[in-house]
Structure 1
Amino acid sequence: MSWSRNTLHVTTITFYIFDSTSLSMERTTLRLHDRPIIMLGYPITHHQKFPIVMQFSWAFLFLTSVALAKGQKILLTNDDGWAVAQIRDQYNAFTATGFDVILSAPAENKSGTGSSTTTPTVLASACEFNTCAAGSPAEGSNTTDPRINYVNGFPVDAVNFGIQTLAPKFFGSKPDLVVSGANIGANLGSTVNVSGTVGAACEAALEGVPSIAFSGSSGSQVSYTTLSQTTAASTVTANIYTALVLKFTQALLNNTTPLLPTGTSVNVNFAANANCPSASSYKFVFTRLQASSSATDVTTCGTDHLIAESTEITKGCIATVSVFNASNKGDVSATTQAAVLNKISSILSCP
Structure 2
Amino acid sequence: MHTWTRLVAVLSVVTAINAQNLILTNDDGWAVAQIRAQNDALNAAGFNVVLSAPAENESGQDLRFNASDTRLNYVNSFPVDAVRFGIQTLAPEFFGSAPDFVVSGPNVGNNLGSGVTGSGTVGAACEAALEGIPSTAFSGDTASQVSYTTLDSSPNSQSSLAARLYSTLTVTFVQTLLASSARPVLPPGVTLNVNYPSTSGCSAAADYSWVFTRLTPNSSAVDVETCGSDHLPDETSVVDRSGCFASVTVINATTKTDVDAATQGAVLARLTGLVTCLPS
Partner of 1:55: none
Partner of 2:183: 257
Partner of 2:247: 320
Mapped partners of 1:98, 1:177: distance in 2: 14
Partner of 2:38: 90
Aligned Cα root-mean-square deviation (Å): 2.1
User: Does the CA-based 8 Å contact 1:141-1:147 persist in structure 2?
Assistant: no
Partner of 2:8: 14
Name whichever structure is richer in helix by fraction. 2
1:170 and 2:94 correspond:
yes
Equivalent position SS for 1:139:
coil
Q: Which amino acid is the alignment partner of residue 300 of structure 1?
A: T
C-alpha displacement of 1:71: 2.0
1:310 and 2:258 correspond:
no
Partner of 1:185: 109
Mapped partners of 2:109, 2:7: distance in 1: 39
User: Does the CA-based 8 Å contact 2:45-2:171 persist in structure 1?
Assistant: no
Aligned 1:69-108 pairs, distance under 5 A:
70-108=18-56
Aligned 1:203-222 pairs, distance under 5 A:
203-222=127-146
Q: How many residues align?
A: 274
- Deviating beyond 6 angstroms after TM superposition, the runs of 4 or more aligned structure 1 residues are 10-13
C-alpha displacement of 1:14: 3.4
Equivalent position SS for 1:345:
coil
User: Does the CA-based 8 Å contact 1:140-1:149 persist in structure 2?
Assistant: yes
Mapped partners of 1:155, 1:186: distance in 2: 16
Q: Which amino acid is the alignment partner of residue 279 of structure 1?
A: A
User: Does the CA-based 8 Å contact 1:110-1:155 persist in structure 2?
Assistant: yes
Equivalent position SS for 2:107:
strand
C-alpha displacement of 1:13: 6.9
User: Does the CA-based 8 Å contact 1:12-1:29 persist in structure 2?
Assistant: no
User: Does the CA-based 8 Å contact 2:137-2:194 persist in structure 1?
Assistant: yes
Partner of 1:299: 225
Pair 142,218 (structure 1): closer, same or farther in 2 beyond 3 Å? farther
Partner of 2:276: 349
Equivalent position SS for 1:29:
helix
Mapped partners of 1:177, 1:259: distance in 2: 9
Mapped partners of 2:189, 2:179: distance in 1: 20
C-alpha displacement of 1:11: 8.1
TM-score, structure 1 normalization: 0.74
Equivalent position SS for 1:330:
coil
Mapped partners of 2:84, 2:122: distance in 1: 14
Q: Which of these residues, 228, 239, 250, is aligned with residue 164 of structure 2?
A: 239
Pair 13,78 (structure 1): closer, same or farther in 2 beyond 3 Å? farther
Mapped partners of 1:28, 1:340: distance in 2: 32
Q: Identity over the aligned pairs, expressed in percent? A: 54
Mapped partners of 2:156, 2:133: distance in 1: 36
Q: Which amino acid is the alignment partner of residue 323 of structure 1?
A: V
- The structure showing larger relative contact order (alpha-carbon pairs under 8 Å, at least 6 residues apart) is 2
Contiguous gaps of at least 5 residues in structure 1: 3-9, 16-26, 31-62, 112-117, 122-137
Equivalent position SS for 1:224:
coil
Mapped partners of 1:217, 1:159: distance in 2: 23
Mapped partners of 1:11, 1:280: distance in 2: 38
Q: Which amino acid is the alignment partner of residue 8 of structure 2?
A: T
